[in-house]
Amino acid sequence: MLNVSILLYDDVVASSVTGVLDLLNGVNKYLVRTGKSSAFAIGLVSRDPERLNLVFPIMRVPHKSFTNAACPDLIIVPSYNVGNEGVVKRNEHSVKWIINMRERGSEVASMCVGSYFLAEAGLLYGKAATSHWAVLDDMRLRYPKIRIKSDAVITDQDGIYTSGGAFSSLKLIVYLIEKFCGRETALWASKMFAIEMDRTSQAYFALFTGQHQHEDKAILEAQLYMEKHFRDTISINDICRLVNMGNRNFIRRFKAATNNTPFEYLQRVRIESAKKAIERNDTDLPAIIEEAGYNDLKAFRIIFKRLTGLSPVEYKKKYARGT
């Protein structure tokens, strides 16, 4: 039986905890019904169980303090709300406990932005990692030694696991169920809890809002120009003249500020425009392609699939109004 500790901390999202409990408890009951033994011994762990029990009063699972909890086989770090600054710093004791348990052999998995706890613990350095799509640029800036995988829903390396944003992170739990219990049990969990089992990308959830959080004013001017004129034919030389910069220097500074080349950035702006037009479902695909600044249907489809993980038709079926 695998000993699993779910970490509780100040500002943790309750659904990120209860979702894991529901899945693991559900699997245990399923295994018992089919004549097998439970797979998971599940517990909660926190710095102050008495206080946090008031926040989570309905969870009838063992809840121990850092000092009283045994070293688990697997630690699951739930999420907190995206944009809630300072959570990890306010919970430094949790980071220290994760480090201590990892040194003693625990595997560690993060849900959504729980990945920041793993990053602060130094567990992701040199490793591939993912998180909620809205924080990936911030993670790249804060932790340049981490290999951020923007589209990935799950990463698994050396007993360290990370997952994509919000409820898509429950796919990691199904993945862990498959890893520790087998494919048949994971398929049952996937069907029972309506969680897509083999989806590998979170790209089509992402909203591109422009990477403006930097101090390079010339590059910001170039970005705003591209965002305003993306439907037109835009050349790098035109933008370089606009910001009075040499070609090589401009490309280098643009990549440093936005983590994209100018060409990649322009494609992201155009595809975001196309996504919104497809979602509105008020015109046909050829008109959308032209409106987004493309004149080659094949090239558009290739770029759209690369950036969203779906073809334009698949995206329309999933997100278009009235379909």
Give me the residue spans of the domains in the chain.
2-205, 217-319
Class at the top of the CATH hierarchy for domain 217-319 = mainly alpha
pLDDT of residue 101: 98
Q: What confidence score (pLDDT) does residue 320 get?
A: 78
* pLDDT, tens digit (0-9, with 9 covering 90-100), for 50-79: 877 656 655 678 999 999 999 999 999 999
Q: What is the pLDDT of residue 188?
A: 93
219-275 residue pLDDT tens: 999 999 998 888 888 999 999 999 999 999 999 999 988 888 999 999 989 998 898
The confidence score (pLDDT) of residue 168 equals 79
Residues 6+ away with beta carbon under 8 Å from 198: none
Q: Which residues of the chain have pLDDT under 70?
A: 53-59, 198-210, 321-323
Label the pairing between strands 154-157 and 160-163. Answer: antiparallel
Integer CA distances (angstroms), 176 to 20, 24, 60, 107, 183, in order: 11, 10, 22, 11, 10
Which fold does the domain 2-205 belong to in CATH?
Rossmann fold (3.40.50)
* Cα gap 64→44, rounded to integer Å: 6
Query: Which pLDDT score, from 0 to 100, does residue 309 have?
Result: 83
Instruction: Check residue 57 and give its pLDDT.
Output: 55
Tokens of 217: 């004013």
Token pair 């965002």 in the structure block, residue: 227
Residue 53 confidence (pLDDT): 67
